Amino acid sequence: MKRIFKPGLLIPVAIIVVLAIWPLLSGNSASSREAMFTLIMSMALASSLNIILGYTGYVSFGHIVFFGIGGYAGFWAITELGWHILPAALLGGFMAALIAWLLGLAVLRLRGAYFALATIGILEAMKALVINLDFLGGPVGLEMHFSEYKRYGGPMESLWMVYWSMVFLAILVTVVSYYIKTSKFGLGLMAIREDEDAAEVMGVITPRAKTWAYVLSAVFPGIIGVLFFFKNGNIEPGDAFRLHFSIEWIVMIMLGGAGTVLGPVLGGGIYQWLRKTLLTSPIFKDYQLVVAGVMLLVIVLFVPTGIIGWLRARSAKLRRVFE
């Protein structure tokens, strides 16, 4: 029980919890709930990607493919088979994990830029394939009838249910991320990141460790995909497999600090908050992509370790608090 109260885990969870109850405290709860949903979803997605990207050092550029696969699997189960959202979400996570496992066996042999390119190829192949599958609605995608929400007590209740599920998932991802980082398994992953050949010599069974890291980083985007598209009411290939979206997750990780537990949580929050501010500001409305680009460039060139990495490097006291 003692480990639960480590600040390295407590701080990111506290951040998520405080943001999660914000809509209850503020008056205008519907719009702040939507804002917080985007924020918390980004944190969860960035934290998941961080497992393979930050800890293991494998740049999964097309990671959104698992979000799309899970989303499609769950959405299909809800609309075509009439499943409840809960088993559908689990199915989404399972499908994403299964495909990550199968793909991982093959593509995780590639290193560096080759792996990054392969993940882009997989994403585009999957998108092109889904466009051709008629039972998934082809290029138009699938739509959910509005009456589907009645099952959960109406649209309002459904939205809140999805919201709290997302909060739960975000906390779960953070806990998993923390336990990976502080475990022997995580140590193996970080050894792979630093020097894969050396890690292998030191007794890390690298193919197995990498595959597990890939599966773990895929399962949560799969589940989140189901929640997101259930809330959306429709799913289409363009939304489910948007390369740009998954690169945003990488930006969030880099902003907060790759390979840290708190980094993706912080980065996801800051990025989405900044994006929302820019989108609503009259001056930057048209140029939000430019601002994000400049921000990314500055981080990559001058603060490659991100906010948390930078803070950790500055003082030993912060190193003990931030994980």
Partner 1 sequence: MGNVLFTSAIDGLLIGVIYGLAAMGLTLIFGVMDVINLAHGPLIALGMFGVYLLFTFLGLNPFLAVAIVAGLGLILGVIIYFIAVNRVIDAPPLSSLLSTFSVNMIIIGVGTAMLSTSSYNVDYSLGTMNLGFFKAPGARIAASLVALLTTALLYLFLYRTRPGKYIRAVANNRISAELMGIPSTRILALAFGIGVMLATVAGGLIATILPINILAGGSYELKSFVIVVLGGLGNPLGALLGGLILGLIEGIVPVFMKTTWVPVIEYVLFVLILLVRPQGILGAKE
Residue 242 Cβ, how far from partner 1 at the closest point, in Å?
Answer: 11
Interface residue with partner 1 among 24, 25, 301, 316 (CB under 8 A) is 301
Does 121 sit near partner 1 (CB under 8 A)? yes
Do residues 246 and 61 make contact, with C-beta atoms less than 8 angstroms apart? yes
Q: Tokens 């499908």, residue?
A: 95
Does 239 sit near partner 1 (CB under 8 A)? no
Half-sphere exposure at residue 260, Cβ-oriented, CA atoms within 13 angstroms: 33
Here's the x/- map for partner 1, 50-89, by CB under 8 A: it reads as: ---x---x-x-x----------------------------
What is the end-to-end Cα distance of the chain in Å, rounded? 18
Task: Provide the residue type at 259 as one letter.
Answer: G
Residue 139 Cβ, how far from partner 1 at the closest point, in Å?
Answer: 8
Where does this chain touch partner 1 (CB under 8 A) — which range of 30-38, 144-152, 216-224, 248-256? 248-256
Interface residue with partner 1 among 29, 32, 98, 117 (CB under 8 A) is 117
Does 288 sit near partner 1 (CB under 8 A)? yes
Does 132 sit near partner 1 (CB under 8 A)? yes
Tokens for 22?
């914000």
Residue 175 Cβ, how far from partner 1 at the closest point, in Å?
Answer: 26
Apex 168 CA angle, 89 and 147, nearest 5: 45
Where does this chain touch partner 1 (CB under 8 A) — which range of 127-135, 198-206, 221-229, 264-272? 127-135
Does 318 sit near partner 1 (CB under 8 A)? no
Interface residue with partner 1 among 80, 84, 114, 279 (CB under 8 A) is 114
Interface residue with partner 1 among 304, 315, 318, 320 (CB under 8 A) is 304
- Closer to partner 1 by CB, 6 or 242: give it: 242
Does 247 sit near partner 1 (CB under 8 A)? yes
Does 207 sit near partner 1 (CB under 8 A)? no
What whole-number distance in Å separates Cα of residue 6 and Cα of residue 323?
9
Task: Provide the residue type at 176 as one letter.
Answer: V
What whole-number distance in Å separates Cα of residue 211 and Cα of residue 217?
10
Dihedral of CA 269/270/275/281: which sign? positive
Give burial (CB, 10 Å; 0-12/13-18/19+) of 279.
exposed
What whole-number distance in Å separates Cα of residue 34 and Cα of residue 84?
23
Where does this chain touch partner 1 (CB under 8 A) — which range of 15-23, 158-166, 201-209, 280-288? 280-288
What whole-number distance in Å separates Cα of residue 36 and Cα of residue 38?
5
Enumerate residues 6+ apart whose C-beta is below 8 A from 169.
Answer: 44, 220, 223, 224, 227
Does 296 sit near partner 1 (CB under 8 A)? yes
Does 277 sit near partner 1 (CB under 8 A)? no
What whole-number distance in Å separates Cα of residue 301 and Cα of residue 41?
27
Q: How many residues bind partner 1 (CB under 8 A)?
A: 45
Does 140 sit near partner 1 (CB under 8 A)? no
In DSSP notation, 8-73 reads HHHHHHHHHHHHHHHHHHSS-HHHHHHHHHHHHHHHHHHHHHHIIIIIS----TTTHHHHHHHHHH
Does 280 sit near partner 1 (CB under 8 A)? no
Does 116 sit near partner 1 (CB under 8 A)? yes
Does 286 sit near partner 1 (CB under 8 A)? yes
Residues in contact with partner 1 by CB under 8 A are: 53, 57, 59, 61, 106-107, 109-110, 112-114, 116-118, 120-122, 124-125, 127-129, 131-132, 139, 247, 250-251, 254, 258, 286-297, 300-301, 304
